[in-house]
Amino acid sequence: MANLEMLEAFCQADGVSGYEKEATRVMKSYLEGYCDEIQYDYLGSLVAHKKGVGPKVLLTGHIDEIGFCVKEITEDGYLRVHPLGGWNTRNMMAEPVTITTREGKKLPGIIGTDPKPGWPRDKAIPMEDVYVDLGVASKQEALDLGIHIGDPITPKAEFMVMNNPKYVNAKAWDDRVGAAIVTDVMRNMAGKTLACDLYCAGTVQEEVGCRGAKTVGQMVMPDLSIAIDVGGDSDTPNAPKGKAVLGSGAALCVRDNSFIAHYGLLWHMEKICEEHQIPYTTYVLGYGGTDSGEMSKVGAGSINLTISIPSRHIHSHNSMIHLDDYDAIVALLSEFVKTFDQSVFEKLKECK
């Protein structure tokens, strides 16, 4: 069962792309004592290792979230910003943010997006017109607060259990939920002898180009890799209808714009779900990309799959998941890791 206290700790940590240390340290605190070693690459990705004899398995959830960094401090004390990750400016008007200074101070701010006179109401406002209001009157006041160019700016949102308590809203589900899932899988392996060599990683800088996945992949050189990330849902009023809806279980991705699933691994995961009554859907995504795009290309290639958790309102201050989907993915990956060995690996290799 999902641990709400752990999920809140993961989501409420500030960790935009390039500034993930606070979030990786939360992840570390829940992994200590459940693995043989914890390492970091030089970009800051966390890699937990449970030693086993057999093929190397790498499970990843990216630990960074979308946000901004300070690009300019105006003479009247506003912050011009540069986006870290993909934003729709219509989703950010008057939303709160946190600016973290070099000294670690957390400063409040509000996003302003005053449109130019005559700007169409149905058109997104250019990012260069977005600013952060600190509630000060001058550049010197902003400087006196300790703000520097490059300081990270993180969305601020409440962790909320919704009216149906299976639905939970938070900032940064993309992709703290994946990082939490791989953490829970590692914790589930405590005391077990594995026939594979297990690595679980919180990768950095996914939102700006899957950079941590590339370095972690080179560090681990996995035989098989699985990225866990959020996926768009199909059950909101104006969404294209599909099978990946909140509460439908693990969403097994056939392809996106960065990878094509290894069909042997895809079929193997479907079989595990059917044998253990784990709810799942299989879907095709016509856009986007995940860490799988980099991990599948490591070395001579890694047998690879992306597993998504359906999520509403992604790439905004607030997004929503269903706890049954979380539990389904943890159950699927835990069963996979427990039963994966050299013989299964050889059968998967024969598919190609």
Active site residues: 206
61 and 27 Cβ atoms separated by less than 8 Å: no
Residues 70, 158, 88, CA angle at the centre, nearest 5°? Answer: 50
Q: Which of 15, 281, 309, 316 is nearest to 182 (CA)?
A: 309
> HSE (CB half, 13 Å, CA atoms) of 286?
2
89 secondary structure, DSSP code: G
The DSSP element (H or E) to which 265 belongs, if any, is helix 263-275
Is 315 within any annotated ligand binding site?
Answer: yes
234: how many CB neighbours lie within 10 A of its CB?
18
Triad 169, 237, 284: Cα angle to 5°: 85
Find out whether 279 and 248 touch, Cβ atoms under 8 Å.
yes
Rg of the chain's alpha carbons, rounded to an integer?
Answer: 21
Query: Using CA atoms, how far apart are residues 243 and 261, in angstroms rounded to an integer?
Result: 18
The answer to the question of whether 229 is labelled as a binding residue is: yes
Contact 216, 200 (CB under 8 A): no
SS (H, E, C) 306-348: EEEEEEECCCCCCEEEEHHHHHHHHHHHHHHHHHCCHHHHHHH
207 is in an annotated binding site: yes
Distance CA 230, CA 290 (A): 9
Q: Is 122 annotated as a binding residue?
A: no
Rounded Cα gap, residues 48 and 32, in angstroms: 9
| Unique residue bearing structure tokens 């401090």 | 73
Pair 74, 131: CB distance under 8 Å: yes
Query: Is 67 within 8 Å of 84 (Cβ atoms)?
Result: yes
* Residues in the annotated binding site: 62, 174, 207, 229, 315
* Residues in the annotated binding site for Zn(2+): 62, 174, 207, 229, 315
